[in-house]
């Protein structure tokens, strides 16, 4: 059972040792698609895996095209956004030290760009640069060089153009990135589960979001797993599966359970815990990921997202509450004996621990919400230190290779999951209580009216990037700041 106060726990192994080595040579295009495994599910439509693109000889070169077209979502034809015609887009599988080349073509009618969420790569030039705009109809070639010590784990990609991020992600633009383990864990099979939400009207069009919904952060009526509604998964008793779970919802928190099955959490966001943990549930804020082992026990279980209360946007604004009801996301049917006998997962190297580090600077970030220009204006303000995002202003300048402590205070009545690009955060203190182990994440929830303290090591990369609330409606409304490491 994972303690709610440590729900987004992550331990990051091996990052922060300077030096960026690029493994492998050559630029081999690998477009070999791995087809989804045949299903033996008795009921429901079998869970389909997105196509997989895998690096070879240290390189993965991918062409991604975003477009608005008819795609199959929740078993229906929906006019949605997609990468390469699929929701989610293809899964990109790479290794530490690899070069990932992505040629993005923006087939939308709005500006867009690409972000590789959680990857520890340069924020400059044509790497994970948040200041790139790819105009409608234009293309841009990204190149991400993963350090040789890049942590393995579950990452994802999505558009990140300020003002358009929420609509484009809600509309279907997201996909998984897996950084493989140096030593694979033996399993019967591996699955990617990209969980997203969407609202579609009877004509198959995505419903537009009201200002009120943006205020609390939109939640779609349908919760999808790989674009499917209530897909079926099946396994033999004793089999062990690796589930790579991504919360790609625009605003919805996921409190996931799979009662009746044995769940072992290997890590959250990037890297692996020192020791794998048996858990009953996993809570993922928008943007968080879970790396899970499921050991199958006979019987049929339901993967559920339980009610999660992330606060209310204030009665006066009529925003209402944001506690979603329990929802069944998928069924997991276990029958017949499979090949079992898997051994326990060996421990990893202890993660880095900044609790004993020398802190070179401390700063406070205050997250607040309100109405701009009075209650009747209908204009939400979502600010960090009283300021809304401004692409021409640098909010925070940090010293390259320093360690900082940030006090994150949320004065509002809604949770705000803070995400920092490039450098993961170690959670030091939650609401005055010290955290007992080294927990690293790239999305850290700051619950309503509370304070969280984190430490960050600004290692390996200098340059300019952003931090923001991963409720993407808040990010688009301005709850984002620019950070520069010099
Ligand atoms: Cu997943 Cu700045 O985003
Ligand atoms: Cu990100
Ligand atoms: Cu927020």
Query: Is pLDDT above 50 for 15?
Result: no
Q: Rounded distance, CA 244 to CA 176, Å?
A: 9
* pLDDT score at 376: 64
Q: Please give the share of the chain, as a percent, with pLDDT higher than 70.
A: 88
- For ligand 1, atom 3: residue with the closest CA: 117
Query: Is pLDDT above 80 for 23?
Result: no
The Å distance, Cα 386 to ligand 1 centre, comes to: 21
More confident residue, 325 or 223: 223
Neighbours of 73 (CB within 10 A): 23
Ligand 1 nearest atom to the CA of residue 475, by list position = 2
Ligand 1 and 286: CB distance under 6 A: no
Ligand 1 nearest atom to the CA of residue 443, by list position = 1
Q: Could you read off the pLDDT of 398-431 as tens digits, one per residue?
A: 999 999 999 999 999 999 999 999 999 999 999 8
CB 93 within 8 A of CB 180: yes
Q: Rounded distance, CA 303 to CA 321, Å?
A: 24
The Å distance, Cα 40 to ligand 1 centre, comes to: 36
Mean pLDDT of the chain: 89
Helices (H), 102-225: 165-170, 211-216
The Å distance, Cα 335 to ligand 1 centre, comes to: 39
Q: Rounded distance, CA 448 to CA 442, Å?
A: 19
Span 269-280, mean pLDDT?
95
The Å distance, Cα 469 to ligand 2 centre, comes to: 10
* pLDDT score at 374: 63
* pLDDT score at 292: 98
Ligand 1 and 160: CB distance under 6 A: yes
Q: Which residues neighbour ligand 2 (ion) by CB within 5 Å?
A: 117, 421
- Superfamily the domain 354-485 falls into: Cupredoxins -  blue copper proteins (2.60.40.420)
Ligand 1 and 421: CB distance under 6 A: yes
pTM of the model: 0.90
Cα 113 from chain centre:
17
- From 2.30.30.60, 2.60.40.420, 1.10.1200.10, 1.10.3720.10, which CATH number describes the 189-337 domain? 2.60.40.420
Reported confidence tier of residue 338, pLDDT bands at 50, 70, 90: confident
Q: Rounded distance, CA 353 to CA 439, Å?
A: 8
Reported confidence tier of residue 378, pLDDT bands at 50, 70, 90: low
**Tokens standing for residue 321:** 């509450």
* DSSP code for 473: H
* pLDDT score at 25: 26
Query: Is pLDDT above 60 for 148?
Result: yes
Reported confidence tier of residue 313, pLDDT bands at 50, 70, 90: confident
The Å distance, Cα 469 to ligand 3 centre, comes to: 5
* pLDDT score at 372: 72
The Å distance, Cα 298 to ligand 1 centre, comes to: 38
> Taking the domains of the chain in order of start, what are their residue ranges?
9-28+46-68+81-179, 189-337, 354-485
* pLDDT score at 4: 29
Q: Rounded distance, CA 94 to CA 116, Å?
A: 13
CB 202 within 8 A of CB 300: no
Ligand 1 nearest atom to the CA of residue 480, by list position = 2
Q: Give the residue from 193, 180, 171, 177 showing the smallest Cα distance to 142.
A: 177
Query: Is pLDDT above 80 for 213?
Result: yes
CB 365 within 8 A of CB 407: yes
Q: Rounded distance, CA 273 to CA 351, Å?
A: 8
Ligand 1 and 161: CB distance under 6 A: no
Q: Which of 16-20, 110-114, 143-147, 283-287 has the lowest mean pLDDT?
A: 16-20
- For ligand 1, atom 1: residue with the closest CA: 117
The domains spanning 9-28+46-68+81-179 and 354-485 adopt the same CATH topology: yes
Ligand 1 and 419: CB distance under 6 A: yes
Q: Looking at the domain 9-28+46-68+81-179, which fold is it?
A: Immunoglobulin-like (2.60.40)
Query: Is pLDDT above 80 for 321?
Result: no
How do strand 153-158 and strand 175-179 relate by DSSP bridges?
antiparallel
SS3 assignment, position 429: strand
Ligand 1 and 162: CB distance under 6 A: no
Q: Please give the share of the chain, as a percent, with pLDDT higher than 90.
A: 84
Ligand 1 and 289: CB distance under 6 A: no
Beta strand residue intervals within 259-344, DSSP E = 262-268, 277-279, 281-284, 289-295, 299-306, 327-337
């Amino acid at each position: 059972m994972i303690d709610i106060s440590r729900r987004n726990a992550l331990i990051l192994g091996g990052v922060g040792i300077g030096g960026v080595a690029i493994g492998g040579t050559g630029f081999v295009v690998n477009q070999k698609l791995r087809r989804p495994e045949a299903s033996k599910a008795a009921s429901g439509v079998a869970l389909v895996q997105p196509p997989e693109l895998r690096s070879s000889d240290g390189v993965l070169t991918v062409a991604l095209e975003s477009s608005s077209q008819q795609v199959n979502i929740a078993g229906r034809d929906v006019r949605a956004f997609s990468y390469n015609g699929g929701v989610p887009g293809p899964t990109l599988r790479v290794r530490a030290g690899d070069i990932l080349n992505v040629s993005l073509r923006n087939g939308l009618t709005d500006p867009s760009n690409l972000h590789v969420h959680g990857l520890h790569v340069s924020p400059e030039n044509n790497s994970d640069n948040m200041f790139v705009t790819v105009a409608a109809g234009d293309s841009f070639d990204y190149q991400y060089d993963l350090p040789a010590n890049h942590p393995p784990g579950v990452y994802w990609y999505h558009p990140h153009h300020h003002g358009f991020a929420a609509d484009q992600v809600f509309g279907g633009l997201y996909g998984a990135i897996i950084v493989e383990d140096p030593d694979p864990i033996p399993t019967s099979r591996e699955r990617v589960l990209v969980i997203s939400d969407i609202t579609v009207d009877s004509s198959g069009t995505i419903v537009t979001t009201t200002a009120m919904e943006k205020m609390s952060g939109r939640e779609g009526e349908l919760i999808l797993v790989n674009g499917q509604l209530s897909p079926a998964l099946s396994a033999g008793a004793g089999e062990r599966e690796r589930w790579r779970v991504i919360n790609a919802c625009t605003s919805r928190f996921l409190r996931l359970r799979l009662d009746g099955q044995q769940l072992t959490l290997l890590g959250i966001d990037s890297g692996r815990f020192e020791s794998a943990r048996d858990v009953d549930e996993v809570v993922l804020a928008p943007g968080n990921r879970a790396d899970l082992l499921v050991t199958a026990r006979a019987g049929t279980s339901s993967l559920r997202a339980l009610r999660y209360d992330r606060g209310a946007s204030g009665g006066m604004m009529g925003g209402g509450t944001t506690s979603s009801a329990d929802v069944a996301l998928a069924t997991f049917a276990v029958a017949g004996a499979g090949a079992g006998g898997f051994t326990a997962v060996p421990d990893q190297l202890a993660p880095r621990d900044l609790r004993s580090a020398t802190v070179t600077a401390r700063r406070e970030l205050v997250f607040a919400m309100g109405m701009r220009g009075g209650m009747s204006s209908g204009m939400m303000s979502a600010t960090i230190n009283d300021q809304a995002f401004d692409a021409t202003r640098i909010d925070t300048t940090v010293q390259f290779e320093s360690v900082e402590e940030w006090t994150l205070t949320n004065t509002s009545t809604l949770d705000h999951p803070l995400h920092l690009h490039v450098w993961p955060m170690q959670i030091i203190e939650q609401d005055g209580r010290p955290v007992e182990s080294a927990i690293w994440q790239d999305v850290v929830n700051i619950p309503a009216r509370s304070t969280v303290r984190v430490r960050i090591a600004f290692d390996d990369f200098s340059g300019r990037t952003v931090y923001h609330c991963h409720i993407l409606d808040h990010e688009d409304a301005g709850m984002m700041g620019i950070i520069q490491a010099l």
